[in-house]
Amino acid sequence: MTHDIILAGFGGQGILFLGKVLAYSGLIDNKEVSWLPSYGPEMRGGTCNCSVVISDEPVGSPLVIEPAVLIAMNSPSLEKFIGSVRPGGTVICDSTIVDSPVTRQDVNVFYIPATDLETENNLKGGANIILLGKLIKETGIISKETFKKAIEKIVPPSKTQLIENNMKAIQVGMDS
Amino acid sequence: MERNLMKGNEAIAEAALRTGCKCFFGYPITPQTEISAYLSKKMPKEGGVFLQAESEIAAINMVLGASASGVRVMTSSSSPGISLKAEGISYIAGSDLPCVIINVQRGGPGLGGIQPSQADYWQATKAIGHGDFHVLVYAPCSVQEMVDTVTKAFDMADSYRMPVIILADGLLGQMMEPVTFPEKKTELPEKPWATNGHGNKRKHNIINSLYLQPDALENSVKNRFERYEELKANHAQAEAYLYEDADIIVAAYGATARIAKSAVNLARESGIKAGLFRPVTLWPFPVKEINEACKNAHTVLCCEMSMGQMIDDVKLALNCSKPVGFFGRTGGIIPKPSEILEEIKKTGGNA
Amino acid sequence: MAVVFEKPKALADITFHYCPGCTHGIIHRIVCEVIDEMGIEGDTIGVCPVGCSVMAYDYFNCDMIEAPHGRAPAVATGVKRANPDKFVFTYQGDGDLAAIGTAETVHSATRGENIVVIFVNNTTYGMTGGQMAPTTLPGQITQTTPYGRDTSVQGFPIKVCEMLSTLDGTALAQRVAVDSVPHVREAKKAVRKAFENQKNKLGFSIVEVLSTCPTNWGMSPVDSLKRLKEEMIPYYPLGVYKDKTAKEDNQQ
């Protein structure tokens, strides 16, 4: 089983972090994983995307071309990648920001107002994790328990309060 | 051993530290800067030397000096920066000095781009500087292999007293994968030839690449080439995958080999007997190994992130015994498995 | 009989390849006398350049490295950083130091690299047969300025000590000459100070030595020394351009 995932949005929305959480989760589940960022001069504020592969087999190309999962946090990202999603694939968008609906009929699309939910629940910067919560609920690629272990591994010891916030955000996403 | 997730560039840096690399001299350039960033944080704490040089030229000459004085030393850059290091690499080779040079390749020529590329194959394997010499060239294809290769590169550099290049690319440098590290090396080889002060205990050592008498220069070059023969005989390395019954062998190295492997798997799913040959050393090129891998194939497809450079060595190694086709993307474009599959079908993989 | 004069121990017992009347011999000797006096031969690594002194690695008895053209300060940086307790010096000509190696020179100085640079300025590329150097005087005829250096075409000479004295990392920038006995003595004092600075970890010390090239100047050794005195010294005034130790003395 191989999960090919693309995460995309604006720089600053936590796209690469979201990718890291997924990759670490795969690592904790003893899977083969890879994480590949887009890199270049658009380090701040520009578009940003990240390929993550979680697999039972050694990862071939770390560059995901036909994702089974797309998380899109803005309209340009959705437009850029929606055509490449495999039929039957899962698309999760932040509907607070994405303004036009997906026209494809052969993919499962979930619209989550993640940025609004972030504000409502006082979870600053948590929209990315809220969207991941929805992904966990809909696909079970990783479990909530694994997610917790991954967050504990990534968050530096000086910022332990972030663990709680992230756990809250993932629950908000799962309940949405 | 614990698996960690790490970027290729950072893994290279950590592996160098664990292999006893005492000094690092470099200059910033995308997409390899994480190596410098990582080492600038870690080296001062471990008693090592991290110095950002004023230029690639200065950096490689600092490498020359540190290597001459007997310590393990590394530099890293990306394509345009490697061109600037060319002079120093030739002097280092001509002075029989060990060092490790990382090239996280990007698209060229000129300023080119910053996306992954394999367009420096010729430079690394044929002409990385003026004069009659070679450098040992490794082409890892995963973050773990980068770590293993760095460890090996320092040992080989010291054993053969020559520069070793690790030819990576932006994809391998930027991606994260699980990786485990070896224990830190504490015992390093003695270097009685080093210019670190004779302490009034021996005659002075000289590190030099100048031989004004032609016969003396010829002798020094010939001695070096004798060592190269030993390298060719004993240290060429390659991986072959699903080759025993293969009708078509895809030859690819580094990041492209991973994509080619995916294409080979897709081809097998559609009934084509495809296999993969991946050189791990680009110089010396694994001649024996490619002939073994291609023994039953009727055709070979060389895939690269360039307009076709390794293909020359593939043809030479096979001595034109079978047709060799080519598929490549360049300019920073990473080939897709589906594109390579198409090419496998076109090039004559019989279903 | 008492020995009143002998070859310094740090100087190898080898016949130099330098032309008759060349002042490299004097400068080599000065460096070796200082090494002897400080007793540091076993702890010293020298870096020689590309130019007439390219084969100086055979002439000094300490460990020696031959650097690529202009890169001696970078090579010396590598040696010194790897072995901070050893003495490291470069020995460079004007083309090496002030043309192709300008960046390496300036940046070693501004980093305060704790090394000694012996800079031999004879206003010409000697080894390649007398072409224009970055230090060639205005009007000077060389192989590549056959009508004399025209500053509107070839620009002006570089005054290295003046330039490096502006950098905070420079501990000592002093220009000396070897055209007369008093000047040779002065030169030796400067070289000694440079090595003492390194011992005291004060930073980058450069001693620029005005030197001659009878062969490429097309002059007798005596006339060459005369030219040094009458033409070079007025353009390149001797003296101390920067001396951190003097500053400390003043502050006290």
What distance in Å separates residue B58's CA from the closest CA in chain A? Answer: 26
Please tell me the distance from the alpha carbon of residue B9 to that of residue B87, in angstroms, as a whole number. Answer: 25
Helix H, strand E, coil C: the string for chain B is: CCCEEEEHHHHHHHHHHHCCEEEEEECCCCCCHHHHHHHHHHHHHHCCEEEECCCHHHHHHHHHHHHHCCCEEEEEECHHHHHHHHHHHHHHHHCCCCEEEEEEEECCCCCCCCCECCCCHHHHHCCCCCCCCCCEEECCCCHHHHHHHHHHHHHHHHHHCCEEEEEEEHHHHHCEEEECCCCCCCCCCCCCCCCCCCCCCCCCCEECCCCCCHHHHHHHHHHHHHHHHHHHHHHCCEEEECCCCCCEEEECCHHHHHHHHHHHHHHHHCCCCEEEEEECEEECCCHHHHHHHCCCCCEEEEEECCCCCHHHHHHHHHCCCCCEEEEECCCCCCCCHHHHHHHHHHHCCCC
Residues of B in contact with A61 (CB under 8 A): 258-259, 262, 334, 336-337
| All partners of chain A with 3 or more CB pairs under 8 angstroms | B
Q: Which domain holds residue A21?
A: 2-175
* B54 in contact with chain C, both atoms CB, cutoff 8 A: yes
Picking from B300, B309, B313, B304, the residue whose alpha carbon sits closest to that of residue B344 is B300
Question: What is the DSSP code (8-state) at residue A94?
Answer: E
Q: Give how far Cα C88 sits from Cα of A30, B65, C46, C91, Å.
A: 53, 11, 6, 10
* A61 in contact with chain B, both atoms CB, cutoff 8 A: yes
Question: Where does residue B274 fall: left (phi above 0), alpha (psi -120 to 50 degrees), or beta otherwise?
Answer: beta
User: Could you tell me the two tokens for B263?
Assistant: 């294409």
Q: In what order do the strands lie in the sheet with B4-7?
A: A108-112, A90-94, A69-72, A2-10, A47-55, A32-37, B176-179, B4-7
* B52 in contact with chain C, both atoms CB, cutoff 8 A: no
Confidence of residue A42 (pLDDT cuts 50, 70, 90): low
Residues of B in contact with A60 (CB under 8 A): 258-259, 261-262, 265, 337
Strand pairing report for A108-112 and A90-94 = parallel
Segments of chain C with pLDDT less than 50:
251-252
| All partners of chain C with 3 or more CB pairs under 8 angstroms | B
Percent above pLDDT 90 for chain B:
97
Query: Does residue A12 contact residue A64 with C-beta atoms inside 8 Å?
Result: no
CATH 3.40.50.970 fits C24-251, yes or no: yes
Strand pairing report for C116-121 and C87-93 = parallel
Q: Tell me, what's the pLDDT at C66?
A: 98
Closest alpha carbon within chain B to A60 = B258
Please tell me the distance from the alpha carbon of residue C200 to that of residue C207, in angstroms, as a whole number. Answer: 17
**Nearest Cβ partner for C66 among B71, B204, B209:** B209
Ranges of beta strands (E only) in A77-169 are 90-94, 108-112
Mean pLDDT is lowest, of A44-48, B317-321, B334-338, for A44-48
* A34 in contact with chain B, both atoms CB, cutoff 8 A: yes
What distance in Å separates residue B351's CA from the closest CA in chain C? Answer: 58
User: Could you tell me the two tokens for C252?
Assistant: 């006290």
Give the mutation candidate from B62, B71, B191 for the C interface (greatest C CB count, under 10 A). B62
Q: Tell me, what's the pLDDT at A41?
A: 59
- Work out how many domains chain A is built from and give that number: 1
Q: Tell me, what's the pLDDT at C250?
A: 54
Q: Tell me, what's the pLDDT at C252?
A: 42
Q: Tell me, what's the pLDDT at A156?
A: 86
Mark yes or no for CB contact C43/B64 under 8 Å.
no
Which whole number is the average pLDDT over B188-200? 98
Query: Does residue A70 contact residue A132 with C-beta atoms inside 8 Å?
Result: no
Which whole number is the average pLDDT over A103-132? 96
pLDDT tens string C205-237? 999 999 999 999 999 999 999 999 999 999 999
Chain mean position to CA A118: 15
What distance in Å separates residue C181's CA from the closest CA in chain B? Answer: 31
Helix H, strand E, coil C: the string for chain C is: CCCCCCCCCCECCCCCCCCCCCCHHHHHHHHHHHHHHHCCHHHEEEEECCCHHHHHHHCECCEEEECCCCCHHHHHHHHHHHCCCCEEEEEEEHHHHHHHCHHHHHHHHHCCCCCEEEEEECCCECCCCCECCCCCCCCCCECCECCCCCHHHHCCCCCHHHHHCCCCCEEEEEEEECCCHHHHHHHHHHHHHHHHHHHCCCCEEEEEEECCCHHHHCCCHHHHHHHHHHHHHHHCCCEEEEEHHHHHHHHC
Q: Give how far Cα C92 sits from Cα of A138, C107, C112, C118, C218, Å.
A: 71, 16, 18, 6, 22
What distance in Å separates residue B23's CA from the closest CA in chain C? Answer: 7
Residues of B in contact with C56 (CB under 8 A): none
What distance in Å separates residue C168's CA from the closest CA in chain B? Answer: 16
Give the mutation candidate from C54, C55, C64, C81 for the B interface (greatest B CB count, under 10 A). C81
pLDDT tens string B279-316? 999 999 999 999 999 999 999 999 999 999 999 999 99
Strand pairing report for B281-283 and B136-138 = antiparallel
pLDDT tens string B45-90? 999 999 999 999 999 999 999 999 999 999 999 999 999 999 999 9
Strand pairing report for B324-328 and B163-169 = unpaired
Picking from C42, C91, C111, the residue whose alpha carbon sits closest to that of residue C206 is C91
- Domains along chain B? 4-184+209-235 (3.40.50.970), 239-347 (3.40.50.920)
Give the mutation candidate from B63, B72, B207, B220 for the C interface (greatest C CB count, under 10 A). B207
Please tell me the distance from the alpha carbon of residue B43 to that of residue B46, in angstroms, as a whole number. Answer: 5
**Nearest Cβ partner for B337 among A24, A27, A60:** A60
Mark yes or no for CB contact B208/C66 under 8 Å.
yes
CATH value at residue A126: 3.40.920.10
* B209 in contact with chain C, both atoms CB, cutoff 8 A: yes
Chain mean position to CA B121: 9
Q: Give how far Cα C210 sits from Cα of A43, C25, C150, Å.
A: 52, 13, 22
User: Could you tell me the two tokens for B73?
Assistant: 């030393």
Residues of C in contact with B95 (CB under 8 A): 65-66
Q: Chain B to chain C, count of Cβ pairs less than 8 Å apart?
A: 136
What distance in Å separates residue B31's CA from the closest CA in chain A? Answer: 8
Residues of B in contact with A62 (CB under 8 A): 171, 175, 177, 258
Confidence of residue A44 (pLDDT cuts 50, 70, 90): low
Confidence of residue A45 (pLDDT cuts 50, 70, 90): low
* B40 in contact with chain C, both atoms CB, cutoff 8 A: no
Query: Does residue B247 contact residue B270 with C-beta atoms inside 8 Å?
Result: no
Mark yes or no for CB contact C64/B54 under 8 Å.
no
Question: Model pTM greater than 0.80?
Answer: yes
The ipTM value here is 0.94
What distance in Å separates residue B341's CA from the closest CA in chain A? Answer: 14
**Nearest Cβ partner for A39 among B5, B31, B336:** B31
Would you call the peptide bond into B192 cis, given omega within 30 degrees of 0 as the criterion?
no
Closest alpha carbon within chain A to B264 = A60
